[in-house]
Amino acid sequence: MMADKIAFGKRLVTKEEYFSSGHRACVGCAEALAVRLACKALGPNVIIVNATGCMEVVSSQFPYTAWSVPWIHTLFENTAAVASGVEAGLKTMKRKGRWPGQEPQVVAMAGDGGTSDIGLQALSGALERGHDFLYICFDNEAYMNTGVQRSSATPFGAATTTSPAGKESIGQVTWKKNMPAIAAAHDIPYVATACPSYPFDLMDKVAKGVATPGPAYVHILSVCPTGWRCAPELAVEIGRLAVQTGIFPLYEIEGGQYKLNVKLSKLKPVTEYLKLQGRFGHLSEATIKEIQDRVDREYAKLMEKATAVAGSS
Amino acid sequence: MAKRVGIEVSLAIAEAAKLANVDVVSAYPITPQTHIVEHLAGLVADGELDAAFIPVESEHSAMSACLGASAVGARTFTASAGQGLELMHEVLYVASAMRLPMVMAVANRALSAPINIWGDHSDAMAVRDTGWIQIFAENGQQVVDNVLCSFRIAEDHRVLLPVMIHLDGFHLTHVIEPIYMPEQDEVDKFLPPPQYPLPLHPDKPLTMGAFGPPYIYTEMKKAQEANLTAAKEVILQCWQEFGSIFGRDYSPVEGYHSEQTKVLLLTMGSFSETAMEAIDKMRDDGKDVGLIRLRLWRPFPFAEIRQAVKNAEVLIVLDRAISFGGPGGPVCSEIRSALYNEDTRPKVIGFVGGLGGRDISVSGFEEIITRGIEIARTGSEQEFEMYGVRE
Ligand SMILES: Cc1ncc(C[n+]2csc(CCOP(=O)(O)OP(=O)(O)O)c2C)c(N)n1
Ligand code: SF4
Ligand SMILES: [Mg+2]
C-alpha cells in the first residue's frame, strides 16, 4: 500500500465541502463518499441535477440541505433530460446577454437504477444530442433507496430483495449491464470508471469529464454496506478489492480508445471480494468459479482494448 | 398596426412563441401538434428566432428539459397532445409544484386504445389536477393571444406557474384562419424578458426539489392551492390589459344570448362556434336558448360560472371526455358541484359527445339541446347521455 501513501502525500485537496456532513446516509456509505469527492473535484461553479434515489433522499430533507452548490431534483428517470434543459437554457441566456456572471458547468447525478434502467432512454437522448454536461452514475448495484431491489447493474449471483437466493435460485441470474460501454457507444468524447477507494483517480476523472466539451460519462462503483451486507468499516477496502480482483477495473475511454488506470500485475481471486459481503454468502463453489471465469475473460478483453497501462496508484 | 393574415393556426402558435422571444423549445412530435414544433424548428434554423430547440427523444424528456430550462430562468415553450401529454404526466406535477413558469400548447387529442389521432378532451381531463393554469381556446386568434398572455401570467411573480393552452386537434390546429398577428414592438412592451426570482445560479446556491416528508407536505400543497387560486386575479388583470392594448377581450366565462335565458348549453373549445350557430337558429325559431363558453378551466372560475347561469332553469353541459363508470363528463360534474349549494340553480344535464374527432354539426347541437330540455322535464335513466352513438 506504499503507493497509496505517496499518492496522498503529493496531492492537495480542497477543504471546502459542497456536499456537507450531517446528511442522513448510512454509516460507511461509499456512495456519499463518492458524491463528496466528486463535488470537491467540481468546485462551486456548477449546477447539479440529481435523480431520485439514496443521495437525493439523504441530502435534501426539507428544510435542511447538504448542498452548498445550486442543486435540483425533480424525478427518478429524467435526470439527463433536466440537465439538457439546464444546459440549453444557460447557453441561450448567456448568448442573449441575460445570464449574469460565469457560465456554470452542468452535472447530472443518478444511481445505477436511475441510469442503466429507468433513465437509460433519457440518458441516451442527452448523450446523442451532444449536450455539454457531465453525467455521473453512482453505482451501488441495486435500488437501495427503495430497499435493495435488483437492477440491471446488480452483479451475477448477488441476492437482493427481488433477486433473492433460494432453493431454486442463486440470486441475480443476469450479468451486470456494461453501462460504460453503452455510454461509449454514443461516441462521446469522455467515458471513465472510478471508485472512491481510489479518491485521486476519481477526482481527476470527474474534473476531466466536466472540463470536456460535450457529453462526458463517469461510472463510479459505490459500496453500499446496507445493501451489500458488509461491515461499514470495510467499504473502502471492498471498493479497492473490486478493482484489484478485476471485477470493476478503472479505465478511461477517450476517442474510442481504452486506457487502464490501475496497473495490476496479477488479479486477486474474486473470493477475496465476495466473501466480505452477505449478498454473496449463499454462493456455491461452482457459481464462484463461474464468476471467476467470467471476470478473467472480461478483464482479458479489456486488456486487449487498452493500450497504455499507466498506473496512478 | 397589427396585420391580419391567413395562417394555419399551428404556424400562428409558433409565430406567437417567436414574438414572445422564447429561449428554449423542447418538444417531441405527435399528431396533431407536429406543425407547431416543426415551424418552431424552422424559425430557429433560419435564425429568425434566437432559441435552443431541443429535439428530445420523448415527451417525458421534453417536459423534463423544460423543467431544467425554466429553473435557470429561460423562457420555455413546448407543445404536445394525447399520448404525449400522458407520457409527460408525472413531470407536469413537478413543473407546477416547483413553480416553474412555462407555456405549453396542447393540441387536444383522444387517448388510446384504440389509437386515434383526432380531437377530444380526454388528454386535457387526464391532466386536470396537475396544478397548471389551463385555458381553452375557441379559435386561432384566441390561441395566439393566449400564448402571449400566458407568458405574462406564468412569469408574474405573484403567480410563477406553468400554463397550458388547450386547442382542439385538427378542428383548430390544422385550419387556416384570419388572425391578427401583433407587431414585435407591441409584444416587447407587453411582455418584457422574464426575471425568474430564484434561478439556479452559483452566486446564490439553491436546493430545488427537496424531499418533503409528512410534516411539511400538507403545507406545501396548501400553498400550491392558494397560489393557483390566487392566480385568477392576475389572469383577469392580464386579460384586461391585453384588451386595452390589443382590442380583444377575454374573460373566464363567456355568454352568448345567455342573460335571462332559461335554457343554456355549456361548451369548451372550438365546438362553441358551431354551437353558437345552433343557438341562433333555435332563437330564430322562437326558442329561449343561449350558450355559455368556459375558457378558464384552472383555476376554476366558480363565481363567474354561478353568475352566468343563475337565471337559467336548465343547463346542458357537453363534455368531450368521459369519466368511465362515473358521473359523466368531468366538466359537467364540476359545474354541477359548483352549483349544488346555491339557493337557486338550474337542473344540470350532462352529455358526452365529439369523441375521437367525431364532429357535431349545427343540427347535432339542436338535438342535444332539445333532448336536454326533455330530460330536465322527464328525467333520464342514465346519469348522462352519450350523443351520436350509432346503435
Ligand atoms: C417513476 C418512479 N418509479 C419508481 C420510483 C421509486 N424509486 C425511487 S428511488 C428508486 C431506486 C433508486 O435506485 P438507484 O437509482 O440505483 O439509486 P440508489 O438509491 O441505489 O442510490 C426507486 C425504484 C420512483 N421514485 N419513480
Ligand atoms: S442504503 Fe446504501 S447507498 Fe443508500 S445511504 Fe445507505 S449505504 Fe448509502
Ligand atoms: Mg443503486
CB atoms B68 and A100 under 8 Å: no
Please give chain B's pLDDT, 391 residues, in tens: 688 999 999 999 999 999 999 999 999 999 999 999 999 999 999 999 999 999 999 999 999 999 999 999 999 999 999 999 999 999 999 999 999 999 999 999 999 999 999 999 999 999 999 999 999 999 999 999 999 999 999 999 999 999 999 999 999 999 999 999 999 999 999 999 999 999 999 999 999 999 999 999 999 999 999 999 999 999 999 999 999 999 999 999 999 999 999 999 999 999 999 999 999 999 999 999 999 999 999 999 999 999 999 999 999 999 999 999 998 899 999 999 999 999 999 999 999 999 999 999 999 999 999 999 999 999 999 999 999 999 8
Report the chain B residue with the minimal C-alpha distance to residue A54.
B211
The predicted complex's ipTM stands at 0.97
CB atoms B210 and A73 under 8 Å: yes
Q: Which pLDDT value is given to residue B391?
A: 87
Tell me which chain B residues have a C-beta less than 8 angstroms from the C-beta of A100: 201, 203
**Closest residue CA from atom 6 of ligand 1:** A146
Q: Which pLDDT value is given to residue B3?
A: 86
* B241 Cα–ligand 1 center, Å: 46
The CATH number of the domain holding residue A166 is 3.40.50.970
**Closest residue CA from atom 5 of ligand 2:** A25
- With 90 as the cut, is the pLDDT of residue A8 above it? no
Q: Which pLDDT value is given to residue B351?
A: 98
C-alpha–C-alpha distance, residues B79 and B93, integer Å: 16
Roughly what angle, to the nearest 10 degrees, separates helices B271-284 and B362-378? 70
3-state SS, B267-330, equals ECCCHHHHHHHHHHHHHHCCCCEEEEEECEEECCCHHHHHHHHCCCCEEEEEECCCECCCCECH
Tell me which chain A residues have a C-beta less than 8 angstroms from the C-beta of B209: 60, 72-74
Roughly what angle, to the nearest 10 degrees, separates helices B89-97 and B214-246? 80
Annotation: CATH topology of B253-386: Rossmann fold (3.40.50)
Domain that holds residue A205: 2-312
Question: In this predicted model, what pLDDT tens digit does every residue of A80-98 receive, in sequence order?
Answer: 999 999 999 999 999 999 9
Q: What is the DSSP letter of A177?
A: P
Mean pLDDT of chain A: 94
Query: Of the candidates B52, B57, B203, which has its C-beta nearest A125's C-beta?
Result: B57
Other C-beta atoms closer than 10 Å to the C-beta of B340 total 9
| CATH architecture of the region B3-246 | 3-Layer(aba) Sandwich (3.40)
* A29 Cα–ligand 1 center, Å: 17
Closest Cα to residue B111, out of B79, B136, B80, B86? Answer: B86
Closest Cα to residue B124, out of B163, B89, B78, B166? Answer: B166
C-alpha cell at B58: 420523448
> Which DSSP string do the residues of B128-165 spell out, in sequence order?
TTSS-EEEE-SSHHHHHHHHHHHHHHHHSTTT---EEE
Using alpha carbons, list the distances in angstroms from residue A183 to A119, A150, B360.
Answer: 13, 21, 52
Does residue B192 have a cis bond before it (omega within 30 degrees)? no
C-alpha cell at A286: 461452482
C-alpha cell at A268: 486477486
Q: What is the DSSP letter of A264?
A: -
Note the Cα A268 to chain centre separation in Å. 22
Using alpha carbons, list the distances in angstroms from residue B121 to A14, A17, B348, B356.
Answer: 56, 51, 20, 9
pTM of the model: 0.97
Q: Which pLDDT value is given to residue B2?
A: 81
* The residue to which cell 380526454 is assigned: B122
CB atoms A91 and B205 under 8 Å: no
**Closest residue CA from atom 4 of ligand 1:** A76
Return the beta strands (E) in chain A as ranges. 46-50, 71-73, 105-111, 134-139, 165-166, 169-170, 190-194, 216-221, 251-254, 257-260, 306-309
Question: In this predicted model, what pLDDT tens digit does every residue of A227-284 receive, in sequence order?
Answer: 999 999 999 999 999 999 999 999 999 999 999 999 788 999 999 999 999 999 999 9
Q: Does the C-beta of A66 come closer than 6 Å to ligand 2?
A: no
CA distance A167 to chain B (A): 39
The answer to whether residues B369 and B278 touch, using CB atoms and an 8 Å cutoff, is yes
Note the Cα A188 to chain centre separation in Å. 17
Question: In this predicted model, what pLDDT tens digit does every residue of A66-82 receive, in sequence order?
Answer: 999 999 999 999 999 99
Burial of A65 (0-12, 13-18, 19+ CB in 10 A): buried
Domain count along chain A:
1
Burial of A215 (0-12, 13-18, 19+ CB in 10 A): buried
Where, residue-wise, is CATH 3.40.50.920 in chain B?
Answer: 253-386
Q: Which pLDDT value is given to residue A11?
A: 75
* The residue to which cell 363567456 is assigned: B254
Q: Which pLDDT value is given to residue B212?
A: 97
C-alpha–C-alpha distance, residues B105 and B12, integer Å: 12
Closest Cα to residue A291, out of A192, A174, A151? Answer: A174
Radius of gyration over alpha carbons of chain A, in Å? 19
C-alpha–C-alpha distance, residues A190 and A165, integer Å: 37
**Closest residue CA from atom 25 of ligand 1:** A76
pLDDT band at A312 (very low <50, low <70, confident <90, very high): very low
